[in-house]
Amino acid sequence: MTLTAHIRATLALGLPLAAAQLAQLAVNTTDTVMIGWLGARELAASVLATQAWFMAFMLGSGFLIAVIPIAAQAEGRGDARGARRAVRMGLWFALAYSTLAMPALWHADRLLVALGQDPGISALAGDYMRILQWSLYPALLTMGIRSFLTARGFGNTILLATLAGVVLNAFLGYALIFGVWGAPALGLAGAASAAVASAVLIAAILAFAAMVLPGLAEHAIFERFWRADWPALGELLRLGWPISATIIAEVGLFAAASILIGWTGTEQLAAHGIALQLSSIAFMIPLGLSQAATVRVGQAAGRGDATGVHGAALGALAVALGLAFVSVTLFLTIPGPLVGLFLDEALPDAAAVAGHAVGLLAIAAGFQFFDSLQVTSVALLRGVHDTRTPMAIAVFSYWGIGLPAAWLAGFPLGLGAPGVWMGLASGLAFASALLTWRFFHFSGARGQKKNHSDS
């Protein structure tokens, strides 16, 4: 295949997945917009709670993301049983992990106070979390089923299910936050309740699709669900824990940034939440396409096709860089209208929050290329089952470089929230360079080894 053909194949598989990622983020974006209409305090509280929930979710989801390369390589070998075993044990893990995470999420407000956050904002965040936390069960079950559907190329099914969840969350959230259409006005509690209902709906649709759609039903992923498969669980845990650690290294960096910016004031934290939401929207597209890269590289690796691995990687990286250029252009040319979507201009603190957020978006534009490269490169490495070295690279880049730089620029150098974001950019830059080098070094060495053995 030519590079152009690889790009087309990546887009064909990845665009529905990218759209599904955007749709999933739209649930949180919708909540952020509507909560922003309540005021800066409510928005700041939701930022802290959502970051804490997201940390718990991403820690568990790394193990479920491991289903994608396992199932993709199994598909490449023609091993349907291996794919089914991985999915079943992934769903077991989702249920067990969610149960263990519940007590910590219930007491999130105490943790926030211990981390130096405003007690009043922390109390609001705690009330929000005690409802939102129940969405962890369906969200992680969705990740397990979704990973299976991704490996099988059913991106459109994932997209449709996620869109249904977006619609439910928007209508139910608006009704319960503001008390319209006969619903009670619950404020933050209404937003959390709608998010839980949306997560349940998405999980239910995907589970039904996996049982009835041709190309999925014959895998019977729920058949004898109670039966343990310890070797499959062991492989999932072996491959998944470094993926989780890699994800947490990055997500934790942004969560730590929220804590640091929380020390600077409520307006800055609200602005951080808006800029982070917009950056997350931009990130969802390369993230969705990176899952397609994992599948394509994994299937080629399962076939023993080193040339296919290399071509799929080049196609994915070309797409990632092109998408980053679009994000940079938008952030630099129309930051004001983008920020304005999240604020009610009639509120007294809206202008100050908007000013801070526009400045942060300019910095976010600077690291879009780095963010796209690192998420694509780490996905390529997962496709060839290389997860431990990427984990070490992520921990070093984000916590050895990014977080110290964020603290140094934000406080000793006195740059505040913009300085914190500059530190984030430095961590992403290191990660993107090292991960991209690692993939081509690792896959090239494996290809040479295979060619030598074949000769």
Segment 437-447 mean pLDDT: 70
For the beta carbon of residue 358, count every other beta carbon within 10 angstroms: 18
pLDDT bracket for residue 444 (50, 70, 90): low
Q: What DSSP letter does each residue of 117-161 carry, written as one string?
A: --HHHHHHHHHHHHHHGGGHHHHHHHHHHHHHHHHTT-HHHHHHH
Give 363-385 pLDDT, tens digit per residue.
Answer: 888 888 888 898 899 889 988 88
Residue 101 pLDDT > 90, yes or no?
Answer: yes
What pLDDT is stored for residue 448 in this prediction? 44
Q: What is the pLDDT of residue 41?
A: 82
- Report which of 165, 145, 153, 155 is spatially closest to residue 206, judged by C-alpha positions: 145
* Average pLDDT score over residue span 227-244: 82
Q: Sorting pLDDT into bands at 50, 70 and 90, what band is 453?
A: very low
pLDDT digits over 74-95, tens only? 766 666 677 777 888 889 999 9
Average of pLDDT values for 119-132? 89
Nearest to 150 by CA among 229, 230, 90, 231: 90
What is the arithmetic mean of pLDDT over 37-59?
A: 83
- Cα 311 vs. chain centroid, distance in angstroms? 25
Is the pTM of the predicted complex or chain greater than 0.85?
no
pLDDT of residue 443: 64
**Residue 455: band (very low, low, confident or very high) from pLDDT cuts 50, 70, 90:** very low
Q: State residue 79's pLDDT score.
A: 65
- What size, in residues, is the chain? 455
**Residue 244: pLDDT over 70:** yes
| Main-chain phi, psi angles of 215, to 5 degrees | 95, -15
pLDDT of residue 445: 44
Average pLDDT for residues 110-137, to the nearest whole number? 88
Please list the alpha-helical segments (H only) found in 179-305.
188-212, 230-262, 266-303
Q: From CA 416, how far away is CA 341, in angstroms rounded?
A: 24
Tens-digit pLDDT profile for residues 397-413: 999 999 999 999 989 99
Render pLDDT for 287-302 as a digit per residue (tens, 0 to 9): 878 888 888 888 888 7
- The pLDDT tens digits of the residues spanning 183-207 come to 888 888 898 999 999 999 999 999 9
Q: Which two tokens stand for residue 297?
A: 């590289």
Average pLDDT in the 166-186 region?
89
Most trustworthy range by pLDDT among 107-121, 234-248, 268-282, 325-339 = 325-339
